[in-house]
Amino acid sequence: METTTGQLESLRAELEEQRRIAEEKEDQLQRYAADLRDTFVAERESAEELRASYVATVRALTNAVEARDAYTGKHAERVAAYGLELTRRIDPKLADDPQTEFGFLLHDVGKVAIPDGILYKTTDLAEEEQSLMRRHPVIGFEIVRGIEFLEAAAQIVRHHHERFDGEGYPDGLAGDDIPLAARIFSVADTLDAMTTDRPYRPGLQLDEARAEIRAGSGTQFDPAVVDQLEQLPDEAVERIRAQIG
């Protein structure tokens, strides 16, 4: 009898010990889980901080260009918005890559190296002035190429004046050899340039601008991108114009 009581007690003690160990393990697991949660939150915060500092850097560079060119105003921002709207319809993954927007915003960053006398000239440029002006995509490419988070954006900057028929610059690339984002940019850029008032001419109506772009399909522009623009409702374009004035 005594032996049984003793056995029961030691069994109880053993059970109690096991319960205590299990509780300790559970506490430990909960502490690990809490640590993981904290790490996850901290990492997400630092990733967001990093992303925000990327965006701030790109905005600062974009503003450096636009501050000089009073005529274009918020051109880069509108082009980026039109460009992203088209990109979402053509290649959603490309639209999700922040570098696509960065490239759209930074396209003319190379103009920082173009003298005011050429940049602001409203009459035709002399040949050597024109050839200097046409260097801005390569200058811009050289400015951003070394920045790791802008490598894909640098390709848009370099190729934003290529033409679908190969008659553009700086590399005379044609068709699919031109990065898709640069082909999309080209349509978005022309849409904004045509519909914006300039000191020397009023902007075109949207339907007139659409007709001009259609006329350049296959020569200046990628027909697939022009098709997507045709499917983009006027309201989408008007909304961007109203938002980014």
Cβ-based nearer residue to Fe ion, 75 or 210: 75
Closest alpha carbon to 107 in 67, 132, 71, 144: 144
Asked if 84 and 95 count as a contact pair (C-beta separation under 8 A), the reply is yes
CB of 133 to Fe ion, least distance (A): 9
- Active-site choice (25, 93, 111, 121): 111
Q: Is 162 in the site for Fe ion (CB under 5 A)?
A: no
Identify whether 121 is a catalytic site residue. Answer: no
Q: For Fe ion, which is the closer residue by CB, 69 or 227?
A: 69
Q: What is the DSSP string of 176-226?
A: GGS-HHHHHHHHHHHHHHHHS-BTTBPPPPHHHHHHHHHHTBTTTB-HHHH
Q: Least distance (Å) from Fe ion to the CB of residue 57? A: 20
Chain center to CA of 177 = 20
Instruction: Assign 221 to helix, strand or coil.
Output: strand
What is the nearest approach in angstroms of Fe ion to the Cβ of residue 107? 6
Judged by CB under 5 A, the chain residues 87 through 126 that form the site for Fe ion are: 108
User: In angstroms, what is the C-alpha Rg of the chain?
Assistant: 29
CB-nearest residue to Fe ion: 108
The least distance separating Fe ion from the CB of residue 116, rounded to whole angstroms, comes to: 16
- Shorter beta-carbon distance to Fe ion: residue 77 or 108: 108
Cα four-point dihedral sign 222, 217, 198, 125: positive
Q: How many residues at the interface with Fe ion, by CB under 5 A? A: 1
Q: Is 189 in the site for Fe ion (CB under 5 A)?
A: no
CB 49 within 8 A of CB 41: no
Active site positions, annotated:
111
Residues at the interface with Fe ion (CB under 5 A): 108
